[in-house]
Amino acid sequence: MSSHAAETTTRQVTVTGTATKDVTPNLMHWRLKINNQDADLKTVAESHSAFVKGVLDYLKKQQIPEKDIQTSGMLFGENWVYQNRNKVREGFMASTDISFKLTKLSKYQELWMGLSKLPNTSLTSVHYDHSERIAHESITRKRALLDAKEKATAMAETLNSTIGKPILIEEQNYQYPRHLASAQYRSAEGATDNSSLAPGQIPITIRVKVSFQIE
């Protein structure tokens, strides 16, 4: 009881500090989905294995390291569709997700075009990232803490007080925006624009919550 009373009577100021560092991305995360249907389950399974192998073989041919390729979300079962507001089984289906990391952004256009030619394969997402994100986060975290200290100092001085030592430091969750990449194509005879990739910069943001004693 006495400990709780001491905590509630402690004079303090609580602030949030935020810092953002913009960096030029040097890698991309790709996510693919392989999906096929057929009236016979065995045929679906055999065909699906071949489609997945075809995608994996293509990625290896493009010199994507095996450690940067991952399969997940493997599913197979009955394929249900709605017809005239009724749920009807229409054969069987199988699907697999394949994700991989691209560190040579110059291969973006070639990969995009090559994957588009593979059967039963769709590209569900592509987004930028940086290989040294943790190091950038560390720098940005220090800036966020300094921002919190500056805020607390200004607030305390306005009330003719000064801040003391921090009594609470908490990093708040931040949802990083997914910066999608997309290709643009010329319509004339299927020619492509090799300069369509513009990585720009991605923000690395850190937000902290800090409570300081007021003296």
Q: How many residues does the chain have?
A: 215
Q: What is the DSSP string of 99-158?
A: EEEE--GGGHHHHHHHHHTSTTEEEEEEEEE-TTHHHHHHHHHHHHHHHHHHHHHHHHHH
DSSP bridge partners of 95: 35, 75
Cα–Cα–Cα angle for 170, 11, 16, nearest 5°?
30
Q: Which fold has domain 27-129?
A: Alpha-Beta Plaits (3.30.70)
- C-alpha–C-alpha distance, residues 30 and 24, integer Å: 18
CA-atom Rg of the chain in angstroms: 26
DSSP letters of 146-181? Answer: HHHHHHHHHHHHHTT--EEEEEEEEEEP------B-
**DSSP helix/strand/coil, 190:** helix
Position 187 scores a pLDDT of 31
Indicate the burial class of 36 (C-beta count within 10 angstroms; 0-12, 13-18, 19 or more).
buried
Q: What is the pLDDT of residue 184?
A: 40
Q: What residue ranges of the chain have pLDDT lower than 70?
A: 1-9, 174-196
Beta bridge partners of 102: 28
Q: What is the pLDDT of residue 87?
A: 79
Residue 196 has a pLDDT of 63
pTM: 0.76
Domain ranges of the chain: 11-24+132-214, 27-129
> 3-class SS at 1?
coil
pLDDT score at 175: 63
Domain at 11-24+132-214, CATH from 3.40.50.10490, 3.40.630.90, 3.30.930.10, 3.30.110.170: 3.30.110.170
